[in-house]
Structure 1
């Protein structure tokens, strides 16, 4: 950030006790005081890496590949006029602004080209790793995204929606519940645990204002509870990644080793030394990655990966779920929705998904979610694709974000009209008119779903995605 980064003396003395012999304190402090390189991750649910590179070149963005994430790039862009977050490409979900080391945990989870049917992200907001995992899953299977802080659920959902994710079920619980409620349910789990944030001072100069070793040890106890819950929720043979943006061993190695000490032969460590070229610079003797800010010129991070090799009795819980408010569509109802969606919007319902109804709303659920529906209460599942009314269906915005592709027919908008669209306003494409619902696009990518009213397209952008200033 700058030279005024706050680094408590107690913290620096603590760092001296565990800093590897290959590193030194002068470089550590200097790295903490340097501005953080901006980085982005291409969202391959929306665009290929090659196509994005062409758009970046057109926009004058200089990209440098991040070695541990094929879709990740450090970026140099002139943001004096338009911040990256207000570009059309970002608002349409083509990329996610994500710190480079934050891309490490999902990369570690899928290391070795692993394929997973059911994945749990235990602490998901704001959604950088959730959307990265969804892209690595190619929107297949089911991804349960849990966030304990109710205030952060809204932004999590907005990012999931913007990035075109369709295989997510969201929940809002203390993640310590998963081990008892959904034992041995997931093929893979990411626990990016709540932590002291010691590694984040390069983007938050005051991140360490309230640091103390005592609070670090208190946080570590919660982390140990969470990693035990994750282990119980993991299937035998499944993979678990534990990560933090902290630096202290109390929150990192000691929590990771607590798992092996608690469950013994039922868990084994997966070394991450071969995760990417030069990974050995950050690899501990156990096979964990302990990334200091100067190691790769990034935020500080810790990543550990485990494999569950044996079962262990999970905590018992009494379940009171209440009545499930959704009903599966009958074969005839499903056929009608599929036919109408194809005829009206030229959109096919994805394989391995099922249609459900709540009142007059039609939802698309991941098929892999169904075994959990009677075992756990989710706050939101899959995507809402339609509202049913007497004359048919009113299609929803997530059809545009999650079910379209580059071949989908859409009304192309000018730059001026696209800006109006993202500000929530209706547009009048020059020389065009029509009737019914229609997709709109800008520069070749879909940006929304509207409805023709004469020569005007009525804006259908959800309120939480509307932007009001500094647009491209």
Structure 2
């Protein structure tokens, strides 16, 4: 079946023409500001041509021909995350809160996880899972750069462990694998690879994922189902399947930029002919009942090291490596890539601090401000000839945390992971 022909199940001829025309336009780009590291006024002073996202607080649209933000110093220092404008709406509407236990079931490369973490102010816990280990490692890279500590990054097939987490999560993100038609103008390979058979294949995967996720959701909890597909079969039809096989309720979503299928008004479409972003579908789902308030577990063990913990009360040690967490979690069935924030390696009576901890921590006993020229040299892997007292030192640039290096009194030794060394503008 031809692509536009199959959209006639819910779009009129006029709407299909408008969609066709929009797909011939350039794709849209946006950033999500990390207000823990940079204020809005500062961002707009540096990049005055940014435009506010129509829905998402701290979201901004930008022209990639004007700003190459992926190569910016401020991107490297975790001040913002580059995310497609429509994709930003998913976590924003779910609106996770500080004490929540959240699951992002298909999380890689981590945009929705990062946004949820920012909304939660780095509190509570998010299980950021992907069935592909290589893809899950991309979540780790973004978590470290952005200084996120409330994540447990995992590589699991949750269908094999779902009984361990029955009615466990307050909020769940199901950004389901799909045929990808919403990304046609962003990646023309998606268009060449599209087929109706692919839509039907993913529909069956999506049906199993949404039922499993609902099984994991607490009574009274909320989850969001999303795809980057225009297809009715992968969107409203999947929601209909959930409604036929559970007690789920659909939460209403209203905005002038949302498109609602009049024949089957479950969820909303973000169509590029209406919304300034790529094609997306999302639906907010609630499990009937009232969530029972649970008392937070408190950690009665004391850490033998005096470190800045940002208010986190739990710690875990894997071999010589120390990690901090804000909220306890049932970890037994999980294949863990990162549990909280990696503080560093315990070596006799000291901790060799990790890059992740440098980006996470709000303060540090010894700090040293460096210039832009010194920052560029440090990112190229060079040590810095600076007289400074011996020991570990947090390097900062414009009050932004760079890394925790080590001084021998005359030289600041470079400890930046080799994979992060690069040039930027």
| TM-score w.r.t. length of structure 2 | 0.91
Residue in structure 1 matching 2:309, options 341, 349, 368: 349
Deviations 1:2-53 (A, max 9, x none): xxxxxxx8102112332157x5222211211111122111023433xxx243
Change (3 A) 1:281 1:196: closer
2:130 aligned residue: 147
Name the CA distance, whole Å, in 2 between partners of 1:330 and 1:25: 61
Matches within 5 A, 1:27-106: 27-47=18-38, 51-57=39-45, 59-76=46-63, 83-106=68-91
Q: CA deviation at 1:427?
A: 2.1
Q: CA deviation at 1:178?
A: 5.1
Residue in structure 2 matching 1:443, options 385, 395, 398: 398
Contact 2:97 2:120 in 1 (8 A): no
1:257 aligned residue: 240
Change (3 A) 1:229 1:464: farther
Change (3 A) 1:178 1:331: closer
1:212 aligned residue: 195
Name the CA distance, whole Å, in 2 between partners of 1:375 and 1:172: 11
Change (3 A) 1:202 1:219: same
Change (3 A) 1:133 1:189: same
1:325 aligned residue: none
SS at match of 1:105: helix
User: Which runs of 5 or more residues in structure 1 are unaligned?
Assistant: 1-8, 312-327, 342-347
Q: CA deviation at 1:414?
A: 1.3
Report the count of equivalent residues. 417
Change (3 A) 1:64 1:136: same
More divergent stretch after superposition (139-148 vs 374-383): 374-383
2:8 aligned residue: 16
SS at match of 2:3: helix
Change (3 A) 1:221 1:120: same
SS at match of 2:396: strand
Name the CA distance, whole Å, in 2 between partners of 1:427 and 1:416: 11
Matching of residue 298 in structure 1 with residue 277 in structure 2? yes
Change (3 A) 1:329 1:76: same
Name the CA distance, whole Å, in 1 between partners of 2:161 and 2:281: 23
Name the CA distance, whole Å, in 1 between partners of 2:105 and 2:402: 30
Name the CA distance, whole Å, in 2 between partners of 1:377 and 1:287: 34
User: Which runs of 5 or more residues in structure 2 are unaligned?
Assistant: 291-297
Matches within 5 A, 1:31-430: 31-47=22-38, 51-57=39-45, 59-76=46-63, 83-110=68-95, 116-177=99-160, 179-263=162-246, 266-273=247-254, 277-282=255-260, 286-309=265-288, 331=301, 334=303, 336-337=304-305, 339=306, 341=307, 348-369=308-329, 372-404=330-362, 410-429=367-386
Deviations 1:348-400 (A, max 9, x none): 2133431222222211123232xx12454433211221222223222222221
Deviations 1:113-172 (A, max 9, x none): 855520000011111111000001111111000011122122211001111110111111
Name the CA distance, whole Å, in 2 between partners of 1:206 and 1:331: 53
Contact 1:183 1:234 in 2 (8 A): yes
Name the CA distance, whole Å, in 1 between partners of 2:17 and 2:42: 40
Root-mean-square deviation (CA, aligned residues, Å) is: 2.4
Name the CA distance, whole Å, in 1 between partners of 2:157 and 2:319: 29
SS at match of 1:385: strand
Name the CA distance, whole Å, in 2 between partners of 1:415 and 1:77: 24
Change (3 A) 1:295 1:418: same
Change (3 A) 1:148 1:374: closer
Change (3 A) 1:191 1:408: farther
